[in-house]
Amino acid sequence: MSPPPLLALQGVTLTLGGKPLLDGADLSVAPGARLCVVGRNGSGKSTLLKIAAGEIEPDGGTRFLQPGASLRYLPQEPDFSGFPTALAYVEAGLGPLDDPHVARTLLNDLGLQGDEHPAHLSGGEARRAALARVLAPEPDILLLDEPTNHLDLPTILWLEAKLAALRSALVLISHDRRFLQDLTRETLWIDRGQTRHLARGFKEFEAWRDRELEEEDKQQHKLARRIVAEEHWLRHGVSGRRKRNMKRLAGLHHLRAERRNRVMPTGDVKLEASEAQLSGKLVIEAIKIGKSYGERVIVDNFTTRIQRGDRLGIVGANGAGKTTLVSLLTGALAPDGGKIRHGANIEMATLEQSRASLDPATTLQDALTGGGSDTIEINGERRHVVGYMKDFLFKPEQARTPIGRLSGGERGRLLLARALAKPSNLLVLDEPTNDLDLETLDLLEEMLADYPGTLIVVSHDRDFLDRVATSVLMSEGDGRWIEYAGGYSDMVAQRGKGVETLGASASTRDSKEKPAPREKAAAKPKLSFKEQHALSTLPGRIDSLREKCAKLHRVLDDPQLYARDPAGFAKASEAFAAAEADLSTAEEEWLELEIKREEIEG
């Protein structure tokens, strides 16, 4: 018999702005649970956690918290007001029997001294202080809303190991796939206001979700056929007893109401980058460049060559100089020494991490158009801004909404919309995954795989780098940067370890605490997202090229062609040679990828 839940929500309903956000949602948290809550941006994930934490009251339903059970909740935007120091903020979360020394130890482990003023903390430092506050008491239940936001990879790895070692029940919301895969054993999906439970971790969720939606489509198709059959009876059927006919007519009305009241799944974001003309083959060349601030060396004697079509991922701890390196490579910052050379016809679009360019008072429409217009140019065509907004799941009525009133996910989609609207052949993305839901991340990855230009991306998301990057540039400390072929897992396999954990601050950690493990992926490389995409599309391209070669071969088989049309013969010969060369290249690429796939799977 399973133990009673520590925390349970049953039949929770909540309406915001006249629209039901949660409609009969359930949540059950057993002792030692490892549960993730997933769903589209705006589906009510954070709201459900706030109800579970007792922060807000639902319109209906019940909340049960086992008497004596301790609970701590990490919101996306913690409130530091009224606390003179970071340590005072963390200590305020301790219970009467908790050890106050744990608060300072955790802060030190997370790279903070404790005497920092909360108003002066960066986004990453604020997130670390908030984590220390909820982790220090080691509660029975931990509710964590986007705990990895604004954290660098070393801190994410430390947090992953810390949570894995805790006895607390965990409820997680996160966009970091690898984090969810490593930590969860249950999944709660919020879809159109209702919850569906999967008794397996996030690794199994996406395949299960697709099966559920496919089954729902089948049921809707059956419902539509039943309605057609009943309507045919209504118009052409032979009348029987009136009572029976009225009952059947009422059933038809019920079927129609069922179809009419069905809430459709949220649509997908439509991501398409505005393409400029192709750049030259060479995009960026850096020769022995360096950059220092005082005695601190950010980049030391660094050389690299980025060519058209490369997808370069940049990783390292916060403060390693990732953004500075990108600024050097793109020409926004001059090096202290060395040389930067840019290729011909470079048109760059950027997505910055800080979102400082977003004026909270500016409306969504003006942020996209630049103000004073209701149209925007995409790939050389003028589009109404409302239509473009819909591609990114914004509603028409949000056109005049000030940016300050948008959620974190909406601001992330707005930045993407602005960056992708600008014609480019070089995309520079600084932490593009922050606040995006998993479905939007999928579409962003697909768009980047098809993007014909060059990509430079700074990210702490390991799964995203595995799917997107063709090489990873890693900070080795003291201004040294080394480039590794493949995605993040490939870098780990070549380097023998991932991004180091919290470095010097980790030396203060309790020696009994379990250290952060090496990346599991180091033991087994995997195909990058671009390689998987190529492996699935190359067979079709090979068949098309073979058909083209066969058609040209039949043309050249005509013995009278040369005498009749020498120019046509020459043109067909050139086309045949080019098609054969393309076919040979495609077959070799497919063979290499297939061999790599077999080595990985075998």
The pLDDT score that the predictor gives to residue 504 is: 39
Across 13-37, average pLDDT: 91
Candidate from 48-52, 160-164, 230-234 with smallest mean pLDDT = 230-234
Least confident span in 1-5, 175-179, 194-198, 400-404:
1-5
> What would the 3-class secondary structure string for 424-448 be?
ECEEEEECCCCCCCHHHHHHHHHHH
- Residue extent(s) of CATH 3.40.50.300 domains in the chain: 7-85+134-207, 282-347+424-523
Neighbours of 230 (CB within 10 A): 18
Are residues 433 and 146 in contact, defined by beta-carbon separation less than 8 angstroms? no
What are phi and psi for residue 315, nearest 5 degrees? Answer: -130, 160
Query: What pLDDT does 101 receive?
Result: 93
Whether the predicted pLDDT of 262 surpasses 90: no
Q: What is the pLDDT of residues 114-149, one digit of tens each?
A: 999 998 888 889 999 999 999 999 999 999 999 998
pTM > 0.75: yes or no: no
Give the pLDDT of residue 280: 83
**Does 577 score more than 90 pLDDT?**
no
Q: Are 436 and 407 in contact (CB under 8 A)?
A: no
Q: Which pLDDT band, with edges at 50, 70 and 90, does 74 fall under?
A: very high
By CB neighbour count within 10 A (0-12 exposed, 13-18 middle, 19+ buried), where does 164 fall? middle
Which pLDDT band, with edges at 50, 70 and 90, does 253 fall under?
low
Question: What pLDDT was estimated at residue 507?
Answer: 37
* pLDDT tens, residue by residue, 366-402: 888 888 788 888 777 888 888 888 887 788 888 888 8
The pLDDT, as a whole number, for residue 182 is 95
536 has pLDDT over 90: no
Mean pLDDT is lowest, of 32-46, 89-103, 297-311, 581-595, for 581-595
Q: Which regions of the chain carry the CATH code 1.10.287?
A: 529-601
Residue 408 contacts residue 492 (beta carbons within 8 Å)? no
What's the fold here for domain 7-85+134-207? Rossmann fold (3.40.50)
Q: What per-residue confidence (pLDDT) applies to 234? A: 57
Provide the pLDDT confidence category of residue 287 given band limits of 50, 70 and 90: very high
12 pLDDT band, cuts 50/70/90, is very high
Burial class (CB in 10 A: 0-12, 13-18, 19+), 367: buried
The mean pLDDT of the chain is: 83
CATH class of domain segment(s) 282-347+424-523: alpha beta
Q: For 449-481, how does the pLDDT look when each residue is reduced to its tens digit (9 = 90+)?
A: 888 899 999 999 999 999 899 999 999 888 999
Contacts for 315 with CB less than 8 Å, ≥ 6 apart: 153, 322, 458, 459, 460, 465, 472, 473, 474, 475, 488, 491, 499
Sheet holding 71-74, edge to edge: 71-74, 141-145, 169-173, 34-38, 186-191, 194-198
% of the chain at pLDDT higher than 70? 84
What was the pLDDT predicted at 518? 43
pLDDT-based confidence at residue 512 (cuts at 50, 70, 90): very low
State the average pLDDT over residues 290-319: 92
pLDDT on residue 340: 94
Q: Which amino acid is at 468?
A: V
What CATH number labels 529-601? 1.10.287
Instruction: Determine the Cα–Cα distance for residues 459 and 7; give it in Å rounded to an integer.
Output: 35
286-300, 350-364, 522-536, range with the lowest pLDDT = 522-536
The answer, yes or no, to whether residue 593 has pLDDT greater than 50, is yes
